């Protein structure tokens, strides 16, 4: 198995904890990395080059859209699947997320089984 | 990896030991074992410490009375054992504090994730359970929630209670030999306990062999507003198969399923009632005239047979035609109601068997008038004989022959069985010029204007005005049906029903629609209507025709652009006419039909 690192970028500690705990059930026990704001998250992504990033939209310092745009504009960062997390269900959020380069959109509170299935599917895809 | 294994992470543990090391006397070493793995080590040869080695002190890490790991600590020779144990206790205490906090955090998170799961499950289940209006589909959606999960539920079934007799029947199940298990369950004494229980319960210690291979059982009644609709039963073939949490989760789903089931039942009841209304109306139309008795009952049968064949066709013009259950239902209702406009058509027109029918047959009146003329002729003969006129007898005979021929012509024309030629029309008009007079000397025409008008109708028994009244039934059908707020699934009923007198060449009535403007179901009903009318045993204008005669006429109608040729070919090729006539027509009407005369040979 290739790169199985998963980054969780969210300013809310309980979401980080819940997502981490959910993803720990993945087979192969991928390495899980945490960041608590957008700027920290971008630095983490540039340093660790995870396979998947769970990225919150509304965050201090740098929001999810900007992180997403920055990742997509960096030619060194390839093969990263971005899953956006939002508490808002608005269709326009989804559209904007997709425009900035996110692949998936998950609303909070998330369905743990859906997260697991999604992460599993992404890790299976080279 | 066990859950507790995640409580202590290696980087954090390493850091903790590194922070401790400077506080210890020089030469000290420590290592932390956790979850059967060496998580961290510090100091000289720290990684090589083992229990029982000289000067090595062991401190167990315990969480909720379970030993999860140990700290091994080696202090330089000569260190006071009390000091060693103080350092060890301090380290273990801080580690255990972290373990306890992590344990609490993981447990709380687990609870939260479970409620997230529950919420997602409910959200999905509500959508799925409410998607169908069929009890069996609701049951299937409910059972799917349990059958698909990995929590080892081996058997599941939904029992529906009959509101009339209280009997329970299975409307869905899963598991190995589920039908047998259902039967065993219903036969067991437990079933009465389960159906009588208001909230449901768990039995985790079923005796072996009591009900098939089941060892644990959970059941929950499906009820809405205190009304008991049925029962969900889940079972496992091991002891202790269910916990309170399973029950809670199942109850959530069952409450949604019960509402969906209730809706499905109400919908079904509405449907049954609506169909009963439709049947009453179509029976009333049929009952209006003895000649059309059973027409509204038989047309749907033919229409459905033909529609099913079109639906099943895998190639040819109907390969892409499908008829789902709703559309099939709409077609049946439309076929039953296609003549509903006839309730406003006067019976004397519907049943008009001769041209001079109105409330009674006026041919009898004309016969009376001829009778007067016969008598007049007879009197004239006596008078002429008495006056000694030589040709009295000849003139009488001539007059009599003329009257007889005239009356015979009128009688023949009145039947409507034959085409009335222009010569006949002229003769009728001449007959009408004759008069008869009463004893007061008043004269009257032999035929009234309206009688001449009716007798001169060229085909059939209806004059144009009456034909219009008959044709109006189609528009009345459409008008009446358009006033019914049909649900979505039935919204095409007025179109299907109202088009049965249209022709595919656009020369039909009431709207003169063409093939492209008529739906396939409307065209199907048109064919069913004609075929039933032609083969019906007794009609006002003729006896029931033979099968070959009817097919021949319909074939001509196909060639003339009256009926849909492709549907008629399917009607013949698939033997719809045959299946129907075998079932409904007396043997004397059924004769051999030579299909090769009407169908092109198959292309392959």
A111 interaction partners in chain B (CB closer than 8 Å): 116-117, 119-121
Instruction: Find, among B28, B100, B38, B92, the residue nearest to B64 by Cα.
Output: B100
Measure A72 CA to nearest chain B CA, in Å.
31
Quote the number of domains for chain B.
4
C-alpha to C-alpha distance for B546 and B531, rounded to whole angstroms: 11
Mutation choice for B interface testing from A33, A108, A112, A116 by most B CBs within 10 A: A112
Measure B19 CA to nearest chain A CA, in Å.
23
CA-nearest residue to A23 within chain B is B113
CA-nearest residue to B112 within chain A is A18
Other beta carbons within 10 angstroms of residue B388's beta carbon come to 7
| Phi then psi dihedrals of residue B218, to 5 deg | -135, 135
Look at B116 and A111 and tell me if their CB atoms are within 8 Å.
Answer: yes
Amino acid B23: pLDDT: 85
A25 touches chain B (CB under 8 A): no
Look at B112 and A14 and tell me if their CB atoms are within 8 Å.
Answer: yes
CA distance readout (Å), B140 to B136, B221, B250: 6, 16, 14
Q: Strand, helix or coil at A93?
A: helix
Retrieve residue B222's tokens: 């499906």
Select the residue of B1, B113, B117 nearest A29 (Cβ to Cβ): B1
C-alpha to C-alpha distance for B604 and B598, rounded to whole angstroms: 18
Measure B113 CA to nearest chain A CA, in Å.
7
C-alpha to C-alpha distance for B170 and B186, rounded to whole angstroms: 10
Residues facing residue B228 across a β-bridge: B223
Look at A17 and B1 and tell me if their CB atoms are within 8 Å.
Answer: no
Q: What tens digit of pLDDT does each residue of A2-33 get?
A: 788 999 999 999 999 999 999 988 888 889 99
B113 interaction partners in chain A (CB closer than 8 Å): 18, 21-22, 112
DSSP string, B413-426: HHH--S---HHHHH
CA distance readout (Å), B349 to B363, B491, B531: 16, 31, 21
Helix axes B295-312, B576-584, angle to 10 degrees: 150
The answer to whether residues B475 and B455 belong to one domain is no
The answer to whether residues B367 and B295 belong to one domain is no
Cis peptide before B115 (omega within 30 of 0): no
B112 interaction partners in chain A (CB closer than 8 Å): 14, 18
C-alpha to C-alpha distance for A70 and A47, rounded to whole angstroms: 14
The answer to whether residues B477 and B434 belong to one domain is no
The answer to whether residues B266 and B188 belong to one domain is yes
C-alpha to C-alpha distance for B89 and B68, rounded to whole angstroms: 16
H runs (alpha helix) in B483-575: 493-498, 520-535, 547-559, 565-573
Cβ-based burial of B54 (10 A; exposed 0-12, middle 13-18, buried ≥19): exposed
| Phi then psi dihedrals of residue B378, to 5 deg | -65, -45
| Domain end call among B225, B240, B270 | B270
Q: What is the mean pLDDT of residues A42-57?
A: 94
B107 touches chain A (CB under 8 A): no
B1 touches chain A (CB under 8 A): yes
Look at B116 and A18 and tell me if their CB atoms are within 8 Å.
Answer: yes
Instruction: Find, among B288, B435, B421, the residue nearest to B349 by Cα.
Output: B288
> At a CB cut-off of 8 Å and minimum separation 6, what does B226 contact?
none
Which portions of chain B are predicted below pLDDT 50? 604
C-alpha to C-alpha distance for B569 and B520, rounded to whole angstroms: 14
> At a CB cut-off of 8 Å and minimum separation 6, what does B254 contact?
B142, B220, B221, B222, B232
Residues facing residue B543 across a β-bridge: B538
A22 interaction partners in chain B (CB closer than 8 Å): 113
The answer to whether residues B146 and B253 belong to one domain is yes
DSSP string, A39-78: HHHHHHHHHH--SEEEEESS-SSS-HHHHHHHHHH-TT--
Amino acid B543: pLDDT: 64
Mutation choice for A interface testing from B8, B114, B116, B126 by most A CBs within 10 A: B116
Residues B250, B234 contacting (CB under 8 angstroms) = yes
For B253-272, give the secondary structure using H, E and C: HHHHHHHHHHHHHHHHHHHH
C-alpha to C-alpha distance for B519 and B68, rounded to whole angstroms: 76
Measure A22 CA to nearest chain B CA, in Å.
8
Query: Is residue B185 in some structural domain?
Result: yes
Look at B110 and A21 and tell me if their CB atoms are within 8 Å.
Answer: yes
Hey, which residues 84-113 in chain A have their CB within 8 Å of chain B?
A: 109-113
CA-CA-CA-CA dihedral for B79, B81, B82, B86, to nearest 10: 80
Query: Is residue B604 in some structural domain?
Result: no
A110 interaction partners in chain B (CB closer than 8 Å): 116, 120
The answer to whether residues B137 and B261 belong to one domain is yes
B117 touches chain A (CB under 8 A): yes
| Domain end call among B419, B445, B461 | B461
Instruction: Find, among B492, B569, B500, B598, the residue nearest to B313 by Cα.
Output: B569
C-alpha to C-alpha distance for B503 and A106, rounded to whole angstroms: 57
Look at A112 and B6 and tell me if their CB atoms are within 8 Å.
Answer: no
The answer to whether residues B440 and B580 belong to one domain is no
| Average per-residue pLDDT for chain B | 87
Retrieve residue A119's tokens: 């992460």
- Evaluate whether the domain defined by A6-124 bears CATH number 3.40.50.2300: yes
Look at A21 and B116 and tell me if their CB atoms are within 8 Å.
Answer: no
Q: Strand, helix or coil at B73?
A: strand
C-alpha to C-alpha distance for B27 and B77, rounded to whole angstroms: 9
- Tokens 């960096």 map to which residue? A74
Interface ipTM above 0.95: no
Q: What tens digit of pLDDT does each residue of B277-292 get?
A: 999 988 888 887 766 7
> At a CB cut-off of 8 Å and minimum separation 6, what does B50 contact?
B56, B72
Task: Look at phi and psi of residue B512 and say left if phi exceeds 0, alpha if psi is from -120 to 50, else beta.
Answer: left
Kind of pairing between the strands at A52-56 and A81-86: parallel
A17 touches chain B (CB under 8 A): yes
Measure B110 CA to nearest chain A CA, in Å.
8
Cβ-based burial of B8 (10 A; exposed 0-12, middle 13-18, buried ≥19): buried
Measure A69 CA to nearest chain B CA, in Å.
30
Measure B141 CA to nearest chain A CA, in Å.
19
Residues B116, A110 contacting (CB under 8 angstroms) = yes
Measure B296 CA to nearest chain A CA, in Å.
52
A29 interaction partners in chain B (CB closer than 8 Å): 1
Amino acid B329: pLDDT: 93
The answer to whether residues B295 and B227 belong to one domain is no
Residues facing residue B42 across a β-bridge: B30
Other beta carbons within 10 angstroms of residue B504's beta carbon come to 24
Query: Is residue B279 in some structural domain?
Result: no
The answer to whether residues B472 and B590 belong to one domain is yes
CA distance readout (Å), B584 to B166, B482, B490, B547: 39, 32, 29, 12
Query: Is residue B121 in some structural domain?
Result: no
Query: Is residue B125 in some structural domain?
Result: no
B119 interaction partners in chain A (CB closer than 8 Å): 109, 111
Measure B100 CA to nearest chain A CA, in Å.
16
Cis peptide before A109 (omega within 30 of 0): yes
Amino acid B518: pLDDT: 95
Q: What tens digit of pLDDT does each residue of A81-125 get?
A: 999 998 876 777 778 888 888 889 888 888 898 999 999 999 988
Contact pairs from chain A to chain B, CB under 8 Å: 32
The answer to whether residues B450 and B473 belong to one domain is no
Query: Is residue B355 in some structural domain?
Result: no
Residues facing residue B357 across a β-bridge: B361
Mutation choice for B interface testing from A113, A115, A117, A118 by most B CBs within 10 A: A113
Look at A24 and B6 and tell me if their CB atoms are within 8 Å.
Answer: yes
H runs (alpha helix) in B419-515: 422-433, 449-455, 464-482, 493-498
| Containing structural domain, residue B134 | 130-270
Look at B113 and A112 and tell me if their CB atoms are within 8 Å.
Answer: yes
Select the residue of B6, B105, B116 nearest A112 (Cβ to Cβ): B116
Select the residue of B113, B117, B121 nearest A21 (Cβ to Cβ): B113
The answer to whether residues B44 and B173 belong to one domain is no
Amino acid B604: pLDDT: 45
C-alpha to C-alpha distance for B284 and B297, rounded to whole angstroms: 11
Query: Is residue B602 in some structural domain?
Result: no
CA-CA-CA-CA dihedral for B258, B260, B261, B266, to nearest 10: 130
CATH of the domain at B472: 1.10.3210.10
CA-nearest residue to B117 within chain A is A111
Residues A103, A81 contacting (CB under 8 angstroms) = yes
CA-nearest residue to A108 within chain B is B116
Instruction: Find, among A29, A31, A10, the residue nearest to A19 by Cα.
Output: A10
Look at B116 and A14 and tell me if their CB atoms are within 8 Å.
Answer: no
Look at A113 and B6 and tell me if their CB atoms are within 8 Å.
Answer: no
C-alpha to C-alpha distance for A15 and B115, rounded to whole angstroms: 14
Instruction: Find, among B159, B154, B136, B129, the residue nearest to B219 by Cα.
Output: B159
CA-nearest residue to A110 within chain B is B116
B121 interaction partners in chain A (CB closer than 8 Å): 111
CATH of the domain at B160: 3.30.450.40
The answer to whether residues B81 and B141 belong to one domain is no
Select the residue of A21, A112, A113 nearest B106 (Cβ to Cβ): A21
Mutation choice for B interface testing from A13, A18, A34 by most B CBs within 10 A: A18
B118 interaction partners in chain A (CB closer than 8 Å): none
Instruction: Find, among B378, B402, B373, B408, the residue nearest to B392 by Cα.
Output: B378
């Amino acid at each position: 198995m290739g790169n199985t690192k998963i980054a969780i970028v969210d300013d809310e500690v309980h979401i980080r904890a819940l997502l981490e705990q959910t993803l720990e059930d993945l087979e192969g026990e991928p390495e899980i990395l945490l960041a608590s704001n957008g700027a920290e998250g971008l630095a983490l992504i540039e340093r660790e080059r995870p396979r998947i990033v769970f990225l919150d939209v509304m965050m201090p310092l740098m929001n999810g859209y900007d992180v997403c745009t920055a990742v997509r504009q960096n030619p060194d960062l390839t093969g990263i699947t971005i899953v956006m997390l939002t508490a808002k269900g608005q269709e326009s959020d989804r559209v904007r997320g997709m425009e900035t380069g996110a692949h998936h959109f998950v609303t909070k509170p998330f369905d743990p089984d859906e997260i697991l299935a999604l992460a599993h599917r992404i890790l299976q895809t080279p | 990896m066990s859950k507790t294994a995640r409580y202590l992470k290696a980087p954090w543990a390493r850091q903790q030991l590194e922070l401790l090391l400077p506080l210890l006397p020089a030469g000290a070493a420590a290592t932390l074992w956790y979850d059967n793995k060496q998580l961290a080590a510090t100091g000289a040869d720290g990684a090589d410490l083992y229990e029982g080695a000289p000067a090595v002190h062991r401190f167990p890490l315990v969480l909720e009375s379970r030993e999860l790991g140990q700290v091994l600590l080696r202090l330089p020779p000569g260190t006071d054992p009390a000091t060693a144990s103080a350092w060890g206790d301090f380290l273990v205490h801080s580690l255990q504090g972290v373990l306890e906090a992590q344990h609490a955090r993981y447990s709380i998170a687990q609870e939260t994730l479970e409620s997230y799961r529950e919420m997602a499950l409910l959200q999905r289940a509500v959508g799925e359970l409410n998607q169908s209006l069929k009890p069996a589909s609701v049951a299937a959606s409910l059972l799917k929630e349990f059958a698909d999960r990995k929590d080892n539920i081996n058997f599941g079934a939904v029992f529906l209670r009959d509101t009339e007799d209280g009997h329970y029947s299975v409307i869905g199940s899963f598991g190995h030999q589920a039908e047998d298990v259902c039967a065993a369950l219903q036969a067991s004494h437990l079933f009465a306990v389960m159906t009588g229980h208001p909230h449901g319960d768990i039995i985790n210690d079923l005796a072996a062999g009591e009900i098939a291979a089941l060892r644990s059982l959970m059941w929950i009644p499906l009820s809405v507003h205190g009304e008991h609709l049925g029962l969900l039963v889940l079972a496992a073939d091991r002891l202790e198969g269910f916990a309170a949490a399973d029950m809670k989760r199942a109850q959530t789903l069952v409450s949604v399923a019960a509402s969906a089931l209730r809706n499905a039942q109400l919908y079904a009841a509405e449907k049954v009632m609506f169909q009963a209304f439709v049947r009453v109306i179509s029976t009333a139309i049929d009952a209006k005239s003895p000649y059309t008795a059973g027409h509204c009952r038989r047309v749907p049968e033919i229409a459905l047979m033909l529609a099913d064949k079109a639906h099943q066709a895998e190639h040819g013009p109907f390969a892409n035609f499908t008829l789902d259950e709703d559309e099939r239902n709409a077609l049946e209702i439309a076929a039953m109601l296609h003549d509903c406009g006839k309730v406003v058509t006067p019976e004397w027109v519907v049943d008009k068997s001769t041209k001079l029918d109105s409330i009674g047959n006026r041919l009898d009146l004309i016969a009376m008038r001829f009778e007067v003329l016969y008598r007049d002729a007879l009197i004239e003969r006596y008078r002429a004989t008495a006056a000694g006129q030589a040709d009295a007898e000849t003139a009488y005979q001539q007059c009599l022959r003329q009257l007889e021929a005239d009356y015979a012509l009128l009688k023949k024309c009145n039947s409507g069985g034959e085409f009335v030629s222009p010569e006949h029309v002229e003769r009728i008009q001449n007959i009408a010029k004759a008069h008869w007079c009463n004893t007061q000397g008043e004269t009257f025409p032999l035929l009234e204007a309206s009688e001449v008008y009716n007798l001169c109708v060229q085909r059939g028994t209806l004059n144009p005005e009456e034909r219009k009244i008959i044709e109006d039934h189609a528009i009345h059908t459409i008008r009446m049906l358009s006033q019914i707020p049909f649900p979505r699934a039935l919204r095409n009923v007025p179109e299907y029903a109202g088009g049965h007198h249209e022709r595919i060449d656009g020369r039909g009535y009431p709207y003169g629609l063409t093939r492209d403007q008529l739906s396939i179901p409307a065209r199907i009903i048109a064919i069913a209507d004609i075929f039933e009318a032609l083969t019906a045993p007794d009609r006002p204008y003729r006896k029931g025709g033979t099968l070959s005669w009817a097919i021949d006429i319909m074939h001509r109608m196909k060639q003339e652009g009256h009926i849909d040729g492709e549907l008629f070919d399917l009607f013949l090729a698939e033997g719809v006419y045959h299946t129907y006539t075998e079932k409904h027509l007396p043997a004397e009407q059924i004769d051999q039909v030579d299909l090769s005369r009407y169908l092109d040979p198959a292309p392959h």
